[in-house]
């Protein structure tokens, strides 16, 4: 990896760290989106909390973090290792943003942007298939995880360079680490560590039962709206 790529890698991390969901929620409703959501500032949280005119631009921005930085590395003539490092830096910045004390989103849309521009057509198709199955399965995170896990396999089967396959493996590892290391919610205090890790890995939540999780989210929203009545009023408008 060339020394010249280091400034771009740092820039990718800083761009990834821009918490668009958090800023949009603050601007539109005057609230901390992490109080309304399962505790993270990402695309899923802004989608559930604000209307489409607010959430869609944020989601496109998060997607653009990945695709834009890798495209810039390509335009500067950097090789595959540098492009991979730049893309991974953008995802890491989104997941652990310096501007939010390293507590951001899940990085799925930013990862999708990176995958979309990487080097062979089966990569975005594989991940898009997982995302589509997730939507058809009422937003289940499991198909997305399966899609990510299939990427290095597909890369290897189609004879892509080792650096690309390793890049997909690292991308999968980043998403898995983010899921497993989130702060434990009070509602999951009675769960064993094994139960908690399995639920987080497969379903990206502390409690496996989705209805229970939705009830917890709604309760958090009511509590947050009681603390920020001006935000709740703006939502009704």
Rounded Cα gap, residues 180 and 145, in angstroms: 13
Name the residue range of residue 32's domain: 3-236
CB proximity list for 148: less than 8 A, separation 6 or greater: 111, 127, 130, 168, 171, 172, 175
- Nearest by Cα to 114 from 65, 174, 178: 65
Question: 15-66: per-residue pLDDT in tens?
Answer: 999 999 889 888 887 777 777 655 577 777 787 778 888 889 998 999 999 8
The number of distinct structural domains making up the chain is 1
Tell me if 180 sits within 8 A of 204, measured CB to CB: no
Rounded Cα gap, residues 235 and 221, in angstroms: 12
Question: 96-148: per-residue pLDDT in tens?
Answer: 999 888 888 888 889 888 888 775 566 666 666 655 555 555 556 777 788 88
Provide the pLDDT for residue 233. 47
Which of residues 104 and 225 earns the better pLDDT score? Answer: 104
Rounded Cα gap, residues 38 and 44, in angstroms: 9
Rounded Cα gap, residues 132 and 173, in angstroms: 21
């Amino acid at each position: 990896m060339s020394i010249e790529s280091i400034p771009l890698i740092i820039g990718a991390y800083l761009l990834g760290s821009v918490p668009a969901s958090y800023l949009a929620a603050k601007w539109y409703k005057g609230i901390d989106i992490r109080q309304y959501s399962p505790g993270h500032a990402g695309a899923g949280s802004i989608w559930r909390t604000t209307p489409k005119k607010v959430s869609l631009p944020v989601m496109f921005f998060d997607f653009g973090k990945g695709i834009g930085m890798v495209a810039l590395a390509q335009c500067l003539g950097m090789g595959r290792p540098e492009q991979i490092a730049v893309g991974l830096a953008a995802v890491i910045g989104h997941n652990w943003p310096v501007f939010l004390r390293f507590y951001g989103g899940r990085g799925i849309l930013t990862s999708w942007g990176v995958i979309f521009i990487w080097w062979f057509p089966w990569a975005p198709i594989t991940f898009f298939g997982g995302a589509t199955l997730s939507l058809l399965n009422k937003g289940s995170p499991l198909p997305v995880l399966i899609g990510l896990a299939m990427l290095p396999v597909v890369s290897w089967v189609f004879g892509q360079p080792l650096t690309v396959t390793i890049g997909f493996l690292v991308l999968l590892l980043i998403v898995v680490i983010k899921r497993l290391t989130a702060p434990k919610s009070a509602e999951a205090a009675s769960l064993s560590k094994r139960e908690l890790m399995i639920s987080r890995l497969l379903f990206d939540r502390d409690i496996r039962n989705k209805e229970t999780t939705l009830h917890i989210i709604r309760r958090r929203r009511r509590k947050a709206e009681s603390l920020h009545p001006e935000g709740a009023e703006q939502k009704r408008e």
